Chains A and B, each alone.
Chain A
């Protein structure tokens, strides 16, 4: 389709291209503004900090094993005196090559390891590839010397060469010690990390940026990384997010699961106070912003900035834009300023609304809309939340950092972002800045279309992630996945060497394909399975089981996506009646108390509408701290159970009635 369209478009001549360039330059859109741009400030790097004392035990001698390896390597190279005497005999020219290719590189590696250890860094991730690479080169050199010696007839030369072979072998042994020690360190670290909970791991990684970088770059399952990010110390969250974006922004399925998990954690925390969801600089808002502004999202924002630079070209000291009467007394000039801002905002909104929104922005908008809907917000509130994401977090921050040539341009940008912010929030006037009332009519006119656009972006994003377009579709998809007629294998590619479990979707662009990819990002397939030379029935059973697990999780995820509060008024009313009339202790709503759930507040049917509401309430009100299931459940404990359940039901009914 697009190919045909391109073919019918006229091609620009050189003269026309030159004209466009000259025009943009005259307006400040190309070159002119950039020429005065200040270099972007380097974000200060987090330094290597020592491992926190409370985690020192968990590190179990990680560094000492490598230090031991370095020492052993040095011991093997201890015969330096002997080397000196050899040098005389080997001869200067030959010795020079040996020094450059063998001796110096090994010395450098050992020095580098010393340096990294002194800084508490991650030796194996940084140095191991270099050591392995050098080892291969040394083996090649040794083989070369050995082959030459086989052909050498001169005994003296043979002896000389043999000494070099011995020297290379000594160094190879030294490198092997280092590799062994480094491998031990890797295992120790994996074991130590496995023993820590998410908060402990996050704290350890926050204190050791190089290990953090390596762990994130190794692409742990997105669900695990989300746990690490949400549990990271406040001052380390930015660094975690930066590393995740740097390493994985190109993998949309992975990043989207990461964003979704972090937003989900934030949503649970916001159960008590829904207004806190995406309010301020939360982990979810930072991550979604960073992902949305990466890749195609970044290109989209650059485009918006380039458009704005063209408009900014008409703003200078002789034609400034000012609409605040305190700063500009001349009403005519203020009116002109309003006109110019209106033109810009209309042009910008027009170009945004008719263009395509890239995946990182659309999918994050969809996740925020889903979160807001789970909180029971109406379409208008959902649109405002998405608008906040698109304008307040993405477009406006990008606009205000456009390098400007004059204070007048800076001021024009600030005013323009104020108008855009009011438009996205649907604010028609504010007593604090009455001069902004000049845009009320425009905002009132544009608001319905703008809000529709916000909701549409979210819908597009959901579709890109394979989410069902409506609740009816969701129900039918769930039914289809659970149907006995569903052809599971047709939806996966056959097992291959790259994908031995055959879990890659056969149609990665389709809705189910996207859902499968998201599941694979969240739950990495087993890494220890290799495709057997002959695919047997036994192996296919393993594949079938893995596929069934993926589809079960996909179904579960679709079920989780159902709105928590029913949208249908009658369903809502029925649910309120059911909770209000329920006997909390008769076993229809709540499961019996257990060691894991001493207050018996877990739902009997966690996937039912009532069960999901109970689960959400339990997550938001973890009130089992310090309470244990007594060996014999006595009347006193049962009273506690009944009270906890009644409180939960009260909260749920309150929530449902608020949505009526």
Chain B
């Protein structure tokens, strides 16, 4: 599912062709996001483990209180909007709300120092936060016909 969406997103982004029409029924959107989030969370889990392995209070603090905020709590708004857009009978307002939430999360990803620091971490754990979640956002946006 995620691969298919990613392919459509690539076609849209690189070739400028919207794969699948707005009329065509699309599958639920939330799983697309959850797949990407799970992928990132797993990598963040590796980073967390690596940080904890030093027995350093600062790194412990980052592991416990600093990493979850990036994908977990910050994306709650996006997930709510995705649920509403996936709900039976979701209307244009729900899709607009989702578009807004996508933009908002993208702005967060682009502007967050923490996201950059996680991606550029010196602990040898490739998280690819911006790339993975950014791709998923592209997919979601293309599903909306954006």
Contact = CB atoms under 8 A, between A and B. Distances in A.
Interface of A: 5-6, 9-10, 12-13, 15-16, 19-24, 26-27, 29-30, 303, 306-308, 310-311, 313-314, 319, 332-333, 335-336, 339-340, 343-344, 347, 350-351
Given A23-B114, A314-B73, A340-B73, 9 more contacts: A13-B122, A16-B123, A24-B58, A27-B69, A29-B66, A311-B69, A313-B69, A335-B76, A339-B73
Interface string B62-98: 1011101100111011001100100000000000000
B127 to A, nearest CB: 13
A24 B76 contact: no
Contact of A336 (B64, B73, B117): B73
Nearest to B67: A23
B76 A340 contact: yes
Interface stretch (B14-22, B24-32, B49-57): B49-57
B62 A23 contact: yes
Contacts of B84: 332
24 contacts: A10-B53, A10-B54, A12-B59, A16-B123, A19-B121, A20-B56, A20-B62, A21-B58, A22-B113, A23-B117, A27-B65, A29-B65, A306-B61, A307-B61, A307-B64, A310-B61, A310-B65, A310-B66, A313-B114, A332-B77, A336-B80, A340-B73, A347-B68, A351-B60
Contact of B117 (A22, A350, A351): A22
A413 to B, nearest CB: 14
A309 B25 CA distance: 46
Contacts of A20: 56, 58-59, 62
Contact of B80 (A21, A303, A335, A340): A335
A540 to B, nearest CB: 50
Contacts of B60: 351
Interface of B: 53-62, 64-66, 68-69, 72-74, 76-77, 80-81, 84, 108, 113-114, 117, 120-123
Contact of B68 (A5, A24, A319, A343): A343
B74 A314 contact: yes
A16 B122 contact: yes
Contacts of A12: 54, 56, 59
A343 B122 CA distance: 26
Nearest to B50: A10
A26 B122 contact: no
Contacts of B77: 332-333, 336
Contact of B72 (A10, A313, A339): A339
Nearest to A354: B64
Considering residues B56, B65, B80, which has the most beta carbons from chain A within 10 angstroms of its beta carbon?
Answer: B65
Contacts of B64: 307, 347, 350-351
Contact of A9 (B55, B74, B108, B123): B55
A5 to B, nearest CB: 7
Contacts of A319: 74, 108
A296 to B, nearest CB: 15
Chain A to chain B: the 5 pairs with minimum beta-carbon distance, closest first: A336-B76, A340-B73, A314-B69, A332-B80, A26-B113
Contacts of B53: 9-10
The interface residues of chain B, by DSSP majority, are classed as: helix
A33 to B, nearest CB: 13
A16 B123 CA distance: 7
B128 to A, nearest CB: 17
A312 to B, nearest CB: 9
Contacts of A314: 69, 73-74
Judged by DSSP, the binding face of A is helix
Contacts of A27: 62, 65-66, 69, 114
Contacts of B114: 23, 26-27, 313
A577 B146 CA distance: 84
Contacts of A347: 64-65, 68
Nearest to B81: A332
Of B61, B74, B108, B120, most A-chain CB atoms within 10 Å: B61
A10 B55 CA distance: 8
B117 A19 contact: yes
Contacts of A311: 65-66, 69
A465 B122 CA distance: 45
Q: With a 10 A CB-CB cut-off, give which of B58, B62, B114 has the most chain A CB atoms.
A: B58
A336 B59 CA distance: 26
B62 A24 contact: yes
B52 to A, nearest CB: 10
B62 A343 contact: no
B36 to A, nearest CB: 18
Contacts of B59: 12, 20
B98 to A, nearest CB: 11
B24 to A, nearest CB: 27
B73 A343 contact: yes
A15 B121 CA distance: 9
A307 B53 CA distance: 18
Nearest to A336: B76
B54 A9 contact: yes
B72 A24 contact: no
A186 B64 CA distance: 57
A306 B68 CA distance: 16
Given A15-B122, A26-B113, A307-B65, A339 B58 contact: no
Contacts of B65: 27, 29, 307-308, 310-311, 344, 347, 351
Contacts of B76: 335-336, 339-340
A29 B66 CA distance: 9
A10 B53 CA distance: 7
A332 B104 CA distance: 14
B66 A23 contact: yes
Contacts of A343: 68-69, 72-73
A22 B80 CA distance: 31
A26 B58 CA distance: 13
A27 B76 CA distance: 19
A16 B56 CA distance: 11
A313 B60 CA distance: 16
B116 to A, nearest CB: 9
Contacts of B54: 9-10, 12, 16
B12 to A, nearest CB: 27
Contacts of B61: 24, 29, 306-307, 310
